[in-house]
Structure 1
Amino acid sequence: MLRYTLSRLLSLSISLAVASLVIFLVIEILPGDPAVLMLGVNAQEDTLAALRDQLGLNGSMLTRYVDWVGGMLVGDFGTSYTYRTPVADMVGDRLWVSLPLAIYALTLSTVIAFPAGIWAASRRGSAADVGVMGITQLGVAIPNFWFAMLMVVVFAVNLRWFSAGGFPGWDEGFWVSIKALTLPAVALALPQASILARVMRSALVDTLSEDFVRTARAKGLTRSQALWRHALRNALIPVLTIIGMQFAFLLAGGIIIENVFFLPGLGRLIFQAISARDLIVVESVVMLLVFAVVMVNFMVEIAYALVDPRLRRR
């Protein structure tokens, strides 16, 4: 297990190094002067020179890359030109919205998808199976932003059970904050739950047809016992992959939902930074999101080894 973990850590480190280089080069090869992009073509030359000096654009490309990576390693992500605030502080504030939202949505997705997928697989070919697959197909087809706006109309405008948007802050109380995140979490969770349920059902159906399951049935186990004791654990590998991908998507890809509900999260921060051409914020936040995605994939691979001991010997 130690050798497997170390190999995965090495792969993680290489992925982060390559990602940082790609992100830096993409920003560097943007046509035109970054200072002109941020301030506009009508900016005065002395203002442009001051911004170039502030961003360290006067040094060589290698020096700027080393300074940027070295700063991130010690928690210094630079200062936003638009907000005049350290990027680390901005990310920290917004992470307390995006991270709970992603965890909340993923929890809802898993709680919905696992029973639905297992139930459909255990009744393969029945009306229940067809019904679950039909509902999940509808969930995949409906855009989450349209579903979010529909929920705002129903639950916020008409029924007044939830607020239409905004986030009160965790200082206002845990349940008040969770209530504010409920509609966005449901809007994010339902399409992901539909995908996860279909993967869970497909993996279980394939596993239930394996020889070891038939052997277990021949030894006297019922279909339900064989499913829960043997098939389910062996079907978790593709399911864990999807869960890892979903968490990365929910953390980094909630920009539309965060804008629909006016949530001050990372997705909205990136949107605002791109609109304001605040390149240092875009560069740093994208790198942080890449780090989150790589870390989630690392944890999923460790979970693989825990679920399937055969992987530890590779």
Structure 2
Amino acid sequence: MISYLTKRLASLVLSLFVASAVIFLVIEVIPGDPAAYMLGMNARPDTIAALRTELGLDGSVFERYVGWVTGMLQGDFGVSYTYRTPVATMVADRLWISLPLALYALFLTVVIAFPAGIFAASRRGQAGDYGVIGATQIGIAIPNFWFAMILILVFAINMRWFSAGGFPGWENGFLQGLKALTLPAVALALPQAAILTRVMRSSLIDVLGEDFMRTARAKGLSTQQAIFRHGLRNALIPVLTIIGLQFAFLLAGGIIIEQVFALPGLGRLVFQSISQRDLVVVESVVMLLVFAVIMTNFLVDLAYALVDPRLRVRA
């Protein structure tokens, strides 16, 4: 198990290093001068040069990369070109919206997908199975922003159960904040639940055909008992993989949903920073999201070892 963890940690560190280099280089080669953009088209060259010096843009690419990575390791993400505010403060404020939204949506995804996938797999070829497959096909085909607009129309405008957008802040109460995130979380969760349901169904159907499942049934267990005692755990490996990928998507890919519901999250911050050529913010937020993806994959690898003892034995 120690060898397994060591290999995964080494892979995590290497992935972070490569990702940081790629992110920095890709963003740095984007055409345009942030200093010229901030000062406007009529700015004098000496004024632009002075601002570039102030922002640290006149150093070499290697020096700026080393300074950026060193600062991140110390918790210093730099200062926003546009807002003249520490990036760490901006990211922390937005993260308290995007992270709960992603966790809420992931929770709803699992709550919907697991029962639906188990129900469909246990009734393979029957009407219930076909109904679940049809529903998941619709969920995959329809984009989440369309779901978001329908949810706003039904539950915010017609029924007035929820607000159509905005976020009141956690200081106004946990339930108020959770209520404001409910419709965005549902809009994000429904397409992901459709995907996870199909993966759960396929994985469980494969497990149901194994010899140990037939042995469990021969010993007198019902189909449901055999699934929950023996089948579900063995079907979780591909499901955990999809859950890890979905969490990364929900955290980093909610830009459109945040725009629809006017949520001041990380996605909206990245969108605004790109339009304003605020490279420091873009680099820092993208690196943070990459770190979340890599860390999630690392935790999924650990979950593999907990779910499947064979991985620990091989390690």
TM-score tier (shorter)? over 0.9
Q: Is the 8 A contact 1:38 1:278 kept in 2?
A: no
**TM-superposed deviation, 1:158:** 1.1
> What is the TM-score of this pair, normalised by structure 2?
0.97
> Could you give the per-residue CA deviations for residues 262-307 of structure 1, whole angstroms, max 9, x where no partner exists?
0000000000101111111111110010001101110011000000
In 1, the alpha carbon distance for the partners of 2:247 and 2:47 equals 42
> Could you give the per-residue CA deviations for residues 193-230 of structure 1, whole angstroms, max 9, x where no partner exists?
11111100010001101122122223332222221111
Aligned to 2:74: 74
Structure-to-structure mapping, 1:232-271, within 5 angstroms: 232-271=232-271
**TM-superposed deviation, 1:30:** 2.2
Structure-to-structure mapping, 1:126-275, within 5 angstroms: 126-275=126-275
Aligned to 2:288: 288
Q: Is the 8 A contact 1:140 1:195 kept in 2?
A: yes
In 1, the alpha carbon distance for the partners of 2:23 and 2:70 equals 15
1:54 aligns to 2:54 (yes or no): yes
Aligned to 2:28: 28
Q: Is the 8 A contact 1:114 1:197 kept in 2?
A: yes
Partner amino acid for 1:157?
Answer: I
**TM-superposed deviation, 1:40:** 4.8
Partner amino acid for 2:80?
Answer: S
Partner amino acid for 1:48?
Answer: I
Partner amino acid for 1:12?
Answer: L
Structure 1 unaligned residues grouped into runs of 5+: none
Q: Is the 8 A contact 1:38 1:279 kept in 2?
A: no
In 2, the alpha carbon distance for the partners of 1:90 and 1:64 equals 21
Q: SS of 1:165's equivalent?
A: coil
Aligned length: 314
In 2, the alpha carbon distance for the partners of 1:156 and 1:272 equals 26
In 2, the alpha carbon distance for the partners of 1:4 and 1:144 equals 38
Partner amino acid for 2:230?
Answer: H
Aligned to 1:9: 9
> Could you give the per-residue CA deviations for residues 117-161 of structure 1, whole angstroms, max 9, x where no partner exists?
001100100000000110111111111001101111111111111
Change (3 A) 1:172 1:131: same
In 2, the alpha carbon distance for the partners of 1:164 and 1:200 equals 33
> What is the TM-score of this pair, normalised by structure 1?
0.97
Partner amino acid for 1:73?
Answer: L
In 2, the alpha carbon distance for the partners of 1:9 and 1:42 equals 51
**TM-superposed deviation, 1:34:** 4.5
Cα RMSD after superposing both structures: 1.3
Structure 2 unaligned residues grouped into runs of 5+: none
In 1, the alpha carbon distance for the partners of 2:239 and 2:54 equals 47
